[in-house]
Structure 1
Amino acid sequence: MLDRMSRISKKQPSVCTPDPLADVEVYHKLAVLGQVLSSCFGPHGRLKQIHNSVGGHILTTSTSAVLLKALTLSHPLLKLLAASVLNHVSRFSDCGLFAAILSCALVDQARGLSVESSIVSGVYRRLLGQCSNYLNQEDCGCKVPVDFGSSRSLLALARGVITSKPTCMLMHREAQHISKQVLQAFLQTIPLNTLGSVTLGKMVVVPVEGRPVGDTTVLPGLLVDMPEMLHLTDVEHLGQGPLRLALFKVSLAGDLSKSGEGTLEVDWEACLEAAILEQLLRLGEQMVQDGVHVFACQRVVHPVLQQYLKKHGIIVVERLGIALMEPLIRVTGAQAVATFQIPIPVQSYGQVAGLGVRRFGSRDMLHMLPAGNQDCCTLVLCHRNETALNELKVACQRADHILRLTLKEPWALLGAGCTETHLGAYIKHQSRIDVSEAVSELGCSHADYLLAADAFFRSLDSTARALEHDGQGCLVDLTYGHRWVVPGGTIPITWGAEVGSCGCGLMHPRGNLDWVPLSTEYLPFSPTPPDTGAYPLVLDSFPAKLNALQVAVETANLILELKYIIEDVN
């Protein structure tokens, strides 16, 4: 009765909140979100455990895509920030934390200014354009070329992604081993024939829990779960390859609603289920007549059809899932058949060079060796526990994606906060040079422009500072604009003795370098591109970081320009 009354009760009017950032409670929630994200930023970040207050599964992660999806955000403004970051950054690897943290910082810095939000947004967009133009220049001081004739830069890119996730719980040698395996897998996905249009192959990750990280390896071809009815003797009985393979993407469970294309003719006196089964057995007869050795299906295969095929020595692999279809098509050259109601054309069949059985711990896998394209491989990823393995799988996939992006744009950015610090110094200097032009273009005062510009470069500095979580101090040198770390409480006169290399590892302390704490006032200077002949030890993806920078600014501007939030409370 109560439920019925609640359904017929009068609808409540929507709640309208004007100028949401002026609300102290809303601003506090945004600040808390920024602190949560900042605290798990970088290789020394703190892990986050997320679970329901009534119990259930506990998620441990430091990956932005996982973290932002798992957080239950109550306020529309926070939901907007998370959605903007996830929708845009997920396509460009895991730069989501950088984008979200910088967005929060830009909003935080702007809120404390006595400048109209529209002017701040205009200044932010203008400075973003200057950053993008600078990063795309060949003489940019925080960009380095990626040499595909050497594995050094590619390995640094892969290692930078993998070591940035502390939830992976890797020791140094383990991180190095995983990085090498991911790089090896990536190189195997590059086709040997590069004439004309080039399509990269696929790295399939097979996680194996309970095995040492050092057991991680790369295998050519594909590994699929061993079918329950299959035995090692069945595989050995097939002998040497090549072996003919048929591939189906339609359900073969006997469900008419999922039978694919075609028409099924049924006698009015016949049982529909029996008619479908008869059609499936005709398909089995054709497989036997055409000399098929492996019968693979994305979905379920009817037990009777499975038994018939097994009786004739055909190996059945079902429930492959949609993720394995593309790499299996590349490995075998097969065409995925979408019906079982018409004869299958011979040209639809593919081949595997051979089959084998591999055991990883307690898990048996069927190994399909490629007969055609050699550009698909399997990364057998091992770790000691489920939490670390799940995080490592995501990190390896992100690292592979980073390497693919680098093929299109063979550049990398200085890592470990040096790019953000360098850009901050560049923007501070540039904003003083073209202030007259900017004021004329934006229609604002000199003071308002400089205040908004300072907020922009302070936000970049605060993002670089967010990499430290143990009370250490962050410095910027006043020559190259790199980020340096010193023990907390170190006095200025001993900075030169305390600093090691800069964050990215490119620079080492020299007698003519001066430092100041990051995010403090210093005279603007034009950061000089270093000419050391050395190479950075830590690199970030150029296209991923540039995209994240753009997403951060546009998301911050969207939040700053919000005038009203209207919520339906019914």
Structure 2
Amino acid sequence: MSRLSKKQPSVCTSDPLSDGEVCRKLAVLRQILTSCFGPCGRLKQIHNNVGGHVLTTSTSAVLLKSLTMSHPVQKLLAASVLNHVSRFSDCGLFAGILCSSLVDHARGLSVQPGMVAAVYRRLLGLCGSYLSRDNCGCKVPVDLGSSHSLLALVRGVVTSKPACMLTHGEARHIGVRVVQAFLHTIPHHSPGPVCLGKTVTVAVEGRPVGDSTVLPGLLVDLPETLRPADLEQLAQGAFRLALFSVSLAGDLSEPGEGTYEVDWEVCLEATVLGQLLRLAEQVVRDGVRVFVCQRVVHPVLQQYLRKHGVIVVERLGIALLEPLIRATGAQAVATFQTPVPAQSYGQVAGLCVQHCGSREMLHLLPAGDSACCTLVLCHRNETMLNELKVACQRAEHILRLTLKEPWALLGGGCTETHLCAYIRHQCHSDVCRAMPELGCTRADYLQVADGFCRSLDAVGRALEHDDGERLVDLTHGHHWAVPVGAPPQASWGDVVGSCGCGLMPPRRDLEWSPLSTEYPPFSPAPPVDTEAHPLVLDSFPAKSNALQVAVETANLLLDLKYIIEDVS
């Protein structure tokens, strides 16, 4: 017998950001995100306290989806990051660190939250205006005719995920394969607007990373009834293919799949089977050699087709439906009650069996310029493979974004420190215009601006996980790292290497300042050597989007007046 308990009244918390417990939970979330940031970030293992699977990751989308947030403020921050950032690229760590740091700095100010939000938006506008300029010092053009910049973008994504556990050689091999797969998706001959193709990823556990490769066309699970002799019987050349998105299992129709008018004395199942066999007779007459169904194919239908030399592939799945359409030119038929239109058939150039580790897969070779390929990803264990798969999918998406907007931002923390130096300098000339427009005092504006810049610096400092020092040079505003264990009496010019993005070599004539301290404002100058190529690049559209999401989410959190929780 169930017990009925009286419904508890909702709990209302006013001004949640003034609550020490709420701020402590936000700080814990920021610490989790910060410790995962960058190529040297620490891994996180997530495990249910009652047992089960252990998840190891440092990817923001995987991490935030797996964490159980205990407070609405945490949930709001995580939801904003996941909904607006992760679909562009894995800039969730950047956005989460910056957002929580902006909130933390705003809490220590005497300025009203509404004024803080207004100044933050104005500074965000300054950032956007600067980043949109062609002569922006932290932005570089991407030459789509050369693979150098494309490889640098992919390498920046893949090497930033330490759970992938790749050596330098393996990272280089994966980068080449991702770029190769991306180039396969660009149609060579397109009379109208260019429509990018599709890359399907097949994960193979237990094989070396070096076995990863790119294959034209698609790999599908090998039908259990298919024998090598069946493929040998097929003649050379293009084969006609039929594709169905409707179930051909012989069960009763689903809503929207048609109705039947039969005599009550006739068995309905027999009627359906008769329609399936008439369908099989038609496709055999039409010369179909490959029969593919997204769902299940009735055993009698399969037997009839195989008897007539037709290869049957069932249970294709929704994920492979669109890529198969792109690869073969077929149209997915959604009914078996009417004749198959002749224009719905597609073609494959050939069939063969590919061995992917312990799996045998049927390789459908594309006919013509299909702009569709399969990326076979191999790694030593499941954890590394899952992280590598996510990283490669994000890297390919970044390349797609870059194709629309061929710019990249300097990686390795150089964009954050350069942008911070620019905003610090611009604030002193912008304050006179901002005061009457925002209705704030000079002191209030500069206080909020200082917190904004310190938050950008905090993202750059988050790249260090071994208590080393991080510097900004006072000429170009690039990010520099002092190696751990460097002699304390040595000058920084003697111990620093190249800057974070690799664009600038060490120079003794530069003056540096620690990122954790306040340095005099200066206008960052572009590097002298314009022919040099950065070694580390970040996605321009992805990071720009993350910057905007971070500021707007911080403003949303600062504007929270009440939190009402249903505790029943």
TM-score band w.r.t. shorter chain: over 0.9
Q: Once the 2 structures are TM-superposed, how far is the Cα of residue 258 of structure 1 from its aligned partner? A: 3.0
Q: How does 1:52-451 map to 2 (within 5 A)?
A: 52-258=48-254, 261-451=257-447
Amino acid corresponding to residue 550 of structure 2 in structure 1: A
Q: Is the 8 A contact 1:15 1:567 kept in 2?
A: yes
- Note the aligned Cα RMSD (angstroms): 1.3
Question: How many angstroms apart in 2 are the aligned matches of 1:523 and 1:488?
Answer: 26
Counterpart of 2:541 in structure 1 is: 543
User: What is the distance in 2 between the residues matched to 1:399 and 1:50?
Assistant: 25
- Please list the CA deviations of residues 48-106 of structure 1 after superposition, one character each: whole Å capped at 9, or x if unmatched: 11111000111111111111111111111111111111111122111111111111111
- 1:17 corresponds to 2:13: yes
Does the CA contact (< 8 Å) of 1:190 and 1:200 recur in 2?
A: yes
Q: Percent same amino acid at aligned positions?
A: 74
- SS in structure 1 at match of 2:68: coil
CA distance in 1, matches of 2:49, 2:250: 43
Aligned-pair CA distance for 1:519: 2.7
- 8 Å CA contact retained: 1:471, 1:487: no
Alignment of 1:452-467 (within 5 A): 452-467=448-463
Distance 1:257 1:82, change over 3 A: farther
TM-score, normalised on structure 2? 0.98
**What is the Cα deviation at residue 259 of structure 1?**
7.4
SS at match of 1:90: coil
Residue 304 of structure 1: CA displacement?
A: 2.0
Aligned 8 A contact 1:333 1:372 in 2:
no
Give the Å deviation of 1:257: 3.8
Q: Residue 38 of structure 1: which of 11, 34, 38 is its match?
A: 34
Structure 2 CA distance, aligned partners of 1:363 and 1:516?
56
Local SS of the residue matching 2:288:
coil
Structure 2: distance between partners of 1:333 and 1:489 = 61
Q: Which amino acid counterpart does residue 134 of structure 1 have in structure 2?
A: Y
Shift of 1:553: 0.5
Cα deviation code 1:95-138 (max 9, x no counterpart): 11111111111111111112111111111110001001100100
- CA shift, 1:362, in A, is 1.2
Contact kept in structure 2, 1:251 and 1:299, CA below 8 Å: yes
Give CA deviations for 1:449-476 in whole Å, capped at 9, x if unaligned. Answer: 1111000000000001101112211000
| Residues 203 and 378 in structure 2, CA contact (< 8 A), matched pair in contact too | yes
Structure 1 CA distance, aligned partners of 2:171 and 2:296? Answer: 38
Could you tell me how far 1:357 is from its partner in structure 2?
Answer: 0.6
Distance in 1 of aligned mates of 2:177 and 2:53: 31
**Alpha-carbon distance in 1 for matches of 2:71, 2:489:** 43
Deviation at 1:568, TM superposition (A): 1.4
Q: Which amino acid aligns with 1:283?
A: L
Counterpart code for 2:515: L
Q: C-alpha deviations, 1:253-306, integer Å up to 9, x for none?
A: 223243753332322112222222222222112121211111101111122211
In 1, Cα distance between equivalents of 2:159 and 2:296: 39
CA contact (8 A) 2:123 2:423 kept: yes
Matching residue within 466, 472, 478 for 2:474:
478
Residues 208-259 of structure 1, C-alpha deviation per residue, up to 9 Å, x if partnerless?
Answer: 1111100111111111111111111111211212101000111112232437
Per-residue Cα deviation, 1:135-162 (whole angstroms, up to 9, x for no partner)? 0100000000001121110110011111
Secondary structure of the structure 1 residue equivalent to 2:105: helix
The CA distance in 1 between the partners of 2:56 and 2:95, in whole Å, is 21
Cα deviation, 1:158-186, whole Å, max 9, x if unaligned, reads 11111111111100000000000100111
- Between the aligned partners of 2:489 and 2:93, the Cα distance in structure 1 is 31
Number of residue pairs the alignment of both structures matches: 566
Counterpart Cα distance in 1 of 2:368 and 2:334 = 22
Is 1:513 equivalent to 2:510 in the alignment? yes
Deviations 1:386-419 (A, max 9, x none): 1111110111111110001001100000001100
Question: Does structure 1 conserve the Cα–Cα contact (< 8 Å) formed by 2:328 and 2:370?
Answer: no
Q: Give me the whole-angstrom Cα distance separating, in 2, the residues matched to 1:168 and 1:258.
A: 43
**2:492 paired residue number:** 495
SS of 1:79 mapped into structure 2: helix
Work out whether residues 209 and 383 of structure 1, in 8 Å CA contact, stay in contact via their aligned partners in 2: yes
Q: Does residue 523 of the first structure (1) align with residue 520 of the second (2)?
A: yes
User: Separation in 1 of the partners of 2:36 and 2:254?
Assistant: 45
Match of 2:562 among 558, 561, 564: 564
Contact 1:263 1:341 survives alignment (8 Å): no
Distance 2:456 2:317 in 1: 43
CA-CA distance at 1:494 after TM superposition: 1.6
Please list every run of 5 or more consecutive structure 2 residues that lacks an aligned counterpart in the other structure: none
The answer (yes or no) to whether the contact 2:120–2:452 under 8 Å persists in 1 is yes
SS in 2 for 1:223: strand
Letter in structure 2 aligned against 1:109: H
SS of residue matched to 1:197: coil
The unaligned stretches of length 5 or more in structure 1 are: none
Give 1:521's aligned amino acid.
Answer: E
| Partner Cα separation in structure 2 for residue 266 and residue 36 of structure 1 | 64
Q: Is the 8 A contact 1:259 1:340 kept in 2?
A: no
Q: 1:28 aligns with which of 20, 24, 32?
A: 24
